[in-house]
Chain A
Amino acid sequence: DTAVSQTPKYLVTQMGNDKSIKCEQNLGHDTMYWYKQDSKKFLKIMFSYNNKELIINETVPNRFSPKSPDKAHLNLHINSLELGDSAVYFCASIGGFYNEQFFGPGTRLTVL
């Protein structure tokens, strides 16, 4: 069974559009994250949610809005997409004492 899943895997869209990426984890973890990996493979945290509450919000434009309907889901909605938003977005979850994060397969977003 997939521990952390994301949909869609690929997303190609025009500038100015609004799009969403969904993430679900079946590990029973309380904390979930969104990371952005740019074209140089650099990984940077965007958001962290714990039990549906936002606990980390890095300097991300407010066009990005995470939504956590329950602790197993953390979706990412992006308004007014820009060329610079093109990247791979990874969802992750963490649980237990040992702080091991489990990553989803990633969503490759291409903005034309």
Chain B
Amino acid sequence: AQSVSQHNHHVILSEAASLELGCNYSYGGTVNLFWYVQYPGQHLQLLLKYFSGDPLVKGIKGFEAEFIKSKFSFNLRKPSVQWSDTAEYFCAVTPISSGSARQLTFGSGTQLTVLP
């Protein structure tokens, strides 16, 4: 079974600071990778996803993530955060395999607080 680790539980930054949130997964096969964001009191929204091809993927709101296969990592980055980026961020993985389960496994989440 796959698992996902997010080592930063809570990150506090000032506006305009650069952001990098770590995500590592464990799975022996090929995976699809995702970052979701959950703003306070709201549902999960997809930030970006990686399926194949260029390992550097760009998402909404200026976020990007880089898939490094050798490190089983998919870190999320943003060059300059804004107060409105304050939210919970979840990394998730689903294995590409036969069968119809396509189960998403989530990391434990990272709470980002951006100070104005």
Contacts and interface: CB of A to CB of B under 8 A. Distances in A.
Given A43-B90, A98-B32, A104 B104 contact: no
B94 A30 contact: no
A90 B43 CA distance: 8
A43 B89 CA distance: 12
A100 B106 contact: no
A45 B104 contact: yes
Interface in B68-116: 88, 90, 94, 96, 99-106, 108-109, 111
Contacts of B105: 45
Contact of A41 (B42, B49, B94, B111): B111
Interface in A96-112: 98-101, 103-106
Interface extent on B, as a size class?
A: 20 to 34
Interface of A is mostly: strand
B46 interface: yes
Interface residues of A, number: 24
Contacts of B101: 31, 48, 50, 55-56
Interface string B42-79: 11111001010000000000000000000000000000
Contacts of B46: 100
Contacts of A101: 34, 104
Contacts of A40: 108
Contacts of A33: 103-104
Contacts of A106: 43
